[in-house]
C-alpha cells in the first residue's frame, strides 16, 4: 500500500495553492475540473487532512468511480473504500477509526458523507483525518456537510439542463406540428414541414412521402416547389422510403449500434448524392406506417441519437395530421361532387315529383318570411332585487341562542331577528364589576394611607376595568339583532343552526324593503347590441307565471360576466304595475322589445352570426 501523504498544514505555499484551487473552481470548464477544485478547497479548509476521495456514480454497472483525488490525482486511496461503502449504504455521514492499517494510520479517522439529491445517491466524499480531538472530527463533518451543497447544486443544475434539452426537443416537435396545422392543404403542409425540418436540423434535403398501394410516393422535397417523382432523385428517395415502410423501423446511414442499420437503398442514395448522413423515420398513425420522413446531410456530422429520437417523435406526431389532411381533401371533393349531382337529379330530373313539390313549398315559405315582419324581443334571465338591501351581521364571536325569522318572512322596524348567547358576557360583566369593587376598596385604603404610588397604579387598573366593563356592556346590548326597517328577509335561516358558533362580521340575515324593487336582466353578449336605454319590455316570474309586468331599461353595465360558458351583461330596469306577491330573489324571464324585423331574420340571425364569425375566424 502506498505510504500516506503528510498532514496538510496552512503555510504560504498552502495559501497560494488554495487561491489556485478557488480560481479553477470559479472558472471550471467541465465537471472533472469542478470536482477536483472543490475537493482541494474542502481539504484545505479541514485541519489535519491526509487525503480526500470523491466517488461519483452510479455507472451502467451500478458502481461508483473516482471523480477527484487529493492531494495527488494518482494517489492510491483504496484504503478509504470501506468508509465510502458504509456511507453509501447508510446514506448518512459516518466517522470510522483506522483499524488494521499499520502504524502510519494509527489514530487516524475516516469521515464519509453521501451526496444525495432528491432521494437519489450521486456519490460519496471520504476524508482521511489525522490524530486530533473529537471536536475537530465534528467540525470536519460539519464542513463536509456544508460543502456538499456545491455538488448538490451542480447535480441539480445538470438535471435542469437535461430537462431543458428535452423540453427544447419537444418544443421543436410542437413547432413542426404547428407548422403542419397552420396550412389548410396537404401539399402546402408537407412542403412547410420539410422546409422547417431542413432549417432546424441543418439538413440539405428533407423529403416527405405517403403510402399508396403498398409503396411510398414522394409528396414534398424541401426548398423544391415542383419535382417529378419519376426522376432519378425522386425514384431513389422513394426506394429508401420503401425500405422503411417494409421494415417499419427507423433507418440511418452511416449505421449505428443503437439504431437499425441502413439498408441497400439508403446506401445507394448516399453514394449517388454524396450524403454523409441519412435518417428515415416512419410517419405512423394508430401504430401503422402511413408514410416516411427522410432527412439528408451532405456535410457536417452524422445524426446523433437525440436527433434520431426527435425525428421519431416528429414522425409519430405528423403521421395522423398529414394523413387526415390528405384524406379530408380527397373526401370533401368526392362528397361534394356526389351530393351536388344527386341534388340536381332530384330537382331537375324526370322523377321524384314529391321532392320537387317540397322544394317549391320551401322556396315559397322562405319568400313569405323574407317579406313579413314581426316584433323582435330579446329574452333574458331576470332576477328581482330590492332597491336597498341591509345586512344583519354577527356583532362579535359567539353562539346562536334563538332565531325568530327565516328567509321569506315579513318583518317590521325594530323586530327581533335573532339573539346570541350572552351568558358568558353576563358572567364577564359580573366578574369585572366585582373586580372593580375590589380595586375601588384598595384605592380607598391607599388614599387613607397616603400611598401615592399605589393610588396611581390602582387608578389605572380601575380605568382599565371600566373600559372592559363598557365593552362587555356594549356587546350585551348588541346581542339582540333587530330589523332596520319594514321589509322582507331575503336570506338567512338559523333555525337549524342553534348553538353553532358564529364569527365577527358573519352575515346572518339580509333584509330588503317591500315597496321598492329593481329588475336585473342577464343579457347574452350576442344580443346586448340590440338593447338600448328606455326600451320597454315585459316580465313573467316563475312564482307568478300568469301575471305579466311591464318594465323599462334604465341602466346597462358595460362589463360582462361569465356564467355556464357564456358571457352576460347586467341590465337594470324599473318595474311597473308590480304584483303584491313579488318578493326579492324571485326569478323569471324578461323580454325587451327591440323593434320590427323580418321574420326570417328573427329566426335565423343567431345562426347567420355564428356562420359569419366562423368564416371570419378560419378564412381571414
DSSP E strands, 100-214? 109-117, 120-129, 205-212
% of the chain residues with pLDDT over 70 = 93
Q: How far apart are CA 294 and CA 283, in angstroms?
A: 10
pLDDT at 12: 63
Cell 479541514 locates to: 46
**Cα–Cα separations (whole angstroms), residue 80 to 57, 65, 84, 102, 477:** 17, 13, 6, 14, 81
CATH superfamily, domain 12-161, is GAF domain (3.30.450.40)
Asked if residues 144 and 113 have their Cβ atoms less than 8 Å apart, the reply is: yes
Mean pLDDT of 477-485: 83
Q: CA neighbours within 13 Å on the CB side: how many for 243? A: 22
Is the fold of 12-161 the same as that of 183-329? yes
Confidence of residue 206 (pLDDT cuts 50, 70, 90): very high
Ranges of each domain in the chain: 12-161, 183-329, 390-509, 516-619
Q: How far apart are CA 115 and CA 155, in angstroms?
A: 10
Q: Write down the CATH number for the domain with range 183-329.
A: 3.30.450.40
Model confidence pLDDT, tens digit, residues 541-565: 988 888 888 888 988 888 888 888 8
Question: Grid coordinates representing 608?
Answer: 347567420
Mean pLDDT of 212-238: 85
The C-alpha angle with vertex 95 and arms to 93 and 101, in degrees rounded to 5, equals: 140
Pick the CATH number of 516-619 from 3.60.15.10, 3.40.50.10890, 1.10.260.40, 2.40.30.170: 2.40.30.170
Pick the CATH number of 390-509 from 2.40.50.100, 3.40.50.1110, 3.40.50.2020, 3.40.50.970: 2.40.50.100
Mean pLDDT of 396-413: 83
Cell 429520437 locates to: 309
The C-alpha angle with vertex 430 and arms to 426 and 435, in degrees rounded to 5, equals: 145
Mean pLDDT of 172-176: 85
Of 78, 28, 32, nearest to 51 by C-alpha is 78
pLDDT at 415: 85
Contacting residues for 377 by C-beta, under 8 A, at least 6 apart: 537, 591, 592, 593, 594
| Bridge partners of residue 53, in order along the sequence | 69, 126
pLDDT at 83: 81
Of 192, 189, 54, nearest to 128 by C-alpha is 54
pLDDT at 103: 43
State how far Cα 232 lies from the chain centre. 51
Mean pLDDT of 240-268: 80
**3-state class of 94 per DSSP?**
strand
pLDDT at 466: 86
Mean pLDDT of 518-543: 88
The helix-helix angle for 134-182 and 31-45 (nearest 10°) equals 160
- What's the mean per-residue pLDDT of the chain? 82
Amino acid at each position: 500500500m502506498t505510504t500516506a501523504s503528510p498532514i496538510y498544514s496552512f503555510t504560504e505555499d498552502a495559501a497560494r495553492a488554495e487561491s489556485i484551487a478557488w480560481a479553477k473552481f470559479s472558472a471550471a470548464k467541465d465537471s472533472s475540473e469542478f470536482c477536483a477544485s472543490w475537493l482541494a478547497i474542502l481539504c484545505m479548509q479541514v485541519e489535519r487532512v491526509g487525503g480526500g476521495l470523491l466517488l461519483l456514480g452510479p455507472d451502467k454497472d451500478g458502481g461508483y468511480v473516482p471523480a477527484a483525488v487529493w492531494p495527488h490525482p494518482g494517489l492510491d486511496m483504496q484504503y478509504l473504500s470501506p468508509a465510502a461503502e458504509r456511507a453509501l449504504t447508510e446514506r448518512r455521514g459516518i466517522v470510522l477509526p483506522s483499524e488494521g492499517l499499520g502504524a502510519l494510520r494509527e489514530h487516524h479517522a475516516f469521515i464519509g458523507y453521501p451526496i444525495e439529491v432528491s432521494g437519489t445517491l450521486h456519490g460519496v466524499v471520504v476524508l482521511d483525518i489525522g490524530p486530533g480531538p473529537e471536536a475537530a472530527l465534528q467540525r470536519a463533518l460539519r464542513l463536509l456537510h456544508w460543502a456538499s451543497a456545491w455538488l448538490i447544486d451542480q447535480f441539480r443544475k445538470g438535471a435542469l439542463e437535461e430537462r431543458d434539452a428535452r423540453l427544447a426537443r419537444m418544443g421543436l416537435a410542437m413547432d413542426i406540428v404547428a407548422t403542419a396545422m397552420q396550412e389548410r392543404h396537404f401539399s402546402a403542409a408537407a412542403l412547410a414541414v420539410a422546409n422547417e425540418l431542413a432549417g432546424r436540423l441543418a439538413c440539405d434535403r428533407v423529403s416527405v412521402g405517403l403510402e399508396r398501394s403498398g409503396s411510398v410516393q414522394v409528396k414534398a422535397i424541401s426548398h423544391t416547389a415542383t419535382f417529378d417523382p419519376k426522376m432519378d432523385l425522386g425514384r431513389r428517395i422513394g426506394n429508401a422510403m420503401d425500405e422503411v415502410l417494409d421494415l417499419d423501423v427507423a433507418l440511418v446511414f452511416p449505421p449505428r449500434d443503437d439504431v437499425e442499420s441502413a439498408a441497400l437503398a439508403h446506401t445507394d442514395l448516399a453514394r449517388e448524392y454524396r450524403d454523409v448522413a441519412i435518417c428515415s423515420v416512419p410517419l405512423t398513425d394508430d401504430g401503422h406506417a402511413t408514410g416516411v420522413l427522410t432527412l439528408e446531410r451532405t456535410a457536417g456530422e452524422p445524426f446523433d441519437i437525440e436527433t434520431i429520437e426527435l425525428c421519431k417523435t416528429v414522425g409519430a406526431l405528423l403521421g395522423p395530421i398529414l394523413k387526415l389532411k390528405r384524406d379530408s381533401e380527397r373526401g370533401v371533393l368526392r362528397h361534394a361532387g356526389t351530393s351536388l349531382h344527386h341534388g340536381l337529379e332530384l330537382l331537375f330530373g324526370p322523377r321524384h315529383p314529391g321532392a320537387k313539390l317540397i322544394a317549391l313549398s320551401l322556396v315559397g315559405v322562405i319568400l313569405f318570411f323574407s317579406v313579413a315582419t314581426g316584433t323582435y324581443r330579446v329574452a333574458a334571465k331576470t332576477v328581482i332585487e330590492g332597491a336597498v338591501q341591509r345586512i344583519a351581521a354577527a356583532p362579535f364571536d359567539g353562539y346562536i341562542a334563538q332565531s325568530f325569522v327565516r328567509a321569506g318572512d315579513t318583518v317590521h322596524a325594530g323586530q327581533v331577528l335573532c339573539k346570541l348567547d350572552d351568558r358568558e358576557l353576563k358572567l364577564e360583566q359580573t366578574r369585572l364589576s366585582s373586580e372593580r369593587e375590589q380595586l375601588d376598596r384598595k384605592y380607598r385604603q391607599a388614599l387613607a394611607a397616603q400611598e401615592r404610588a399605589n393610588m396611581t397604579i390602582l387608578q389605572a387598573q380601575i380605568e382599565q376595568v371600566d373600559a372592559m366593563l363598557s365593552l362587555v356592556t356594549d356587546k350585551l346590548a348588541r346581542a339582540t339583532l333587530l330589523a332596520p326597517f319594514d321589509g322582507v328577509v331575503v336570506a338567512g335561516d338559523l333555525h337549524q343552526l342553534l348553538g353553532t358558533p358564529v364569527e365577527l362580521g358573519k352575515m346572518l340575515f339580509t333584509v330588503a324593503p317591500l315597496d321598492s324593487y329593481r329588475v336585473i336582466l342577464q343579457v347574452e353578449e350576442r344580443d346586448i347590441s340590440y338593447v338600448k336605454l328606455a326600451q320597454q319590455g315585459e316580465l313573467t316570474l316563475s312564482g307568478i307565471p300568469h301575471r305579466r309586468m311591464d318594465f323599462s331599461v334604465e341602466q346597462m353595465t358595460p362589463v360582462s360576466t361569465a356564467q355556464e360558458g357564456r358571457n352576460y351583461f347586467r341590465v337594470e330596469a324599473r318595474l311597473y304595475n308590480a304584483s303584491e306577491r313579488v318578493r326579492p330573489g324571485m326569478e323569471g324571464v324578461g323580454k325587451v322589445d327591440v323593434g320590427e324585423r323580418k321574420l326570417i331574420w328573427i329566426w335565423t340571425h343567431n345562426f347567420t352570426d355564428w356562420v359569419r364569425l366562423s368564416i371570419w375566424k378560419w378564412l381571414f
